[in-house]
Amino acid sequence: MKVRNTNNIRRSYTIAFKRSAILHFDLSKSKKKTAENLKILRPSLIKWINQRQVIFNKLQRVNNRRVINDCNMKKPLFPDNEARLYDCKY
């Protein structure tokens, strides 16, 4: 069974998914079986395995829309307004 991206859609995966894929590979010792089980492309898995140290050392926080890297967080544009907004009690 060959997994192909026929829609030409750029896929993005969370750090947690990449970590679980690497751990799955460690247990199975087969890149092909891991890629087929997780329905990902084999070259992506190979790239993640090569970047193992970087992936496991990242500190990340999950937002409802995306994963935010803690070292690259955006500064608030209007800190006073945002502070008042989040201090409101409903």
Instruction: Check residue 90 and give its pLDDT.
Output: 46
pLDDT digits (tens, 9 = 90+) for 33-89: 999 999 999 999 999 999 999 888 876 655 555 555 555 555 555 666 666 666 655
Q: How far apart are the first and last CA of the chain?
A: 53
Cα–Cα dist 44/30, whole Å: 14
Instruction: Check residue 61 and give its pLDDT.
Output: 57
pLDDT digits (tens, 9 = 90+) for 3-31: 665 566 778 888 889 999 999 999 999 99
pLDDT digits (tens, 9 = 90+) for 41-55: 999 999 999 999 988
Instruction: Check residue 18 and give its pLDDT.
Output: 92
Domain 15-87 has CATH 1.10.10: yes
Instruction: Check residue 86 and give its pLDDT.
Output: 61
